[in-house]
């Protein structure tokens, strides 16, 4: 069972800022860094803590898994937090992830529509659960086929915990480097989870402009 006890978050760069104004802070989170503090006191270092060193009012509007890198937005005041949070709640944001998965996906595009629930015996893992799971959908598109892997673009239509990781495993193409869901070979095939939040789009809470932010894929 993977744990976070040996937690050594990356320090360089300490914080990667993509955009900042009076209302929002957009960051490119590194793989290996928690979004918010963990329950164990040793897990205090996180993106939220680092941001608040410079912007004390910064608050999380959403999260990325520790091992997932990419675009994340924080609000710098309550009004912005409410407006952006509402967009996430009502699925008015746009999200695009890039991933490298095990094996060769034959089709060019597809939709995974499988309900997900907590795997209580193996928390924090999730699992496909037709009886108790919440509806979960992920669109995927092949970008490149390698020798033993496929590079895909993923669009989550819902926002369940570990959704992309479990959905790709469920169709037989686990994300490379996934410490929770990959077998030994797929885990050893990469030095980190090959999942990156490449693009995030939302309406600015003050200007009303729809903005899209991009973080270069590091793998």
What are the catalytic residues?
65
- Determine how many CB atoms are found less than 10 A away from the CB of residue 34: 22
Distance CA 216, CA 198 (A): 7
Q: Is 203 left (phi over 0), alpha (psi -120 to 50) or beta?
A: beta
Distance CA 25, CA 59 (A): 9
Tokens of 74: 């924080």
Tokens of 207: 């200007």
Residues sharing a CB contact under 8 Å with residue 85, sequence separation 6 or more, in sequence order = 61, 75
């Amino acid at each position: 069972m993977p744990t976070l006890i040996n937690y050594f978050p990356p320090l360089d760069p300490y914080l990667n800022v993509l955009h900042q104004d009076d209302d929002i802070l957009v960051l490119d989170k590194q793989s290996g860094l928690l979004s918010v503090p963990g329950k164990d006191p040793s897990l205090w270092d996180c993106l939220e803590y680092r941001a608040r060193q410079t912007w004390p009012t910064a608050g999380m509007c959403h999260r990325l898994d520790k091992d997932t890198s990419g675009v994340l937005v924080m609000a710098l005041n309550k009004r912005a937090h409410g407006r952006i949070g509402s967009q996430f709640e009502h699925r008015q944001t746009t999200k695009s992830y890039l991933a490298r998965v095990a094996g060769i996906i034959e089709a060019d595009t597809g939709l995974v529509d499988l309900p997900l629930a907590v795997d209580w015996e193996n928390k924090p893992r999730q699992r496909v659960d037709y009886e108790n799971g919440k509806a979960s959908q992920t669109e995927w598109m092949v970008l490149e086929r390698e020798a033993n892997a496929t590079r895909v673009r993923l669009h989550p239509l819902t926002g369940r915990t570990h959704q992309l990781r479990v959905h790709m495993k469920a169709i037989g193409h686990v994300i490379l480097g996934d410490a929770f869901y990959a077998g030994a070979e797929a885990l050893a095939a990469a030095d980190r989870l090959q999942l990156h939040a490449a693009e995030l789009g939302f309406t600015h809470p003050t200007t009303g402009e729809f903005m899209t932010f991009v973080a270069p894929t590091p793998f």
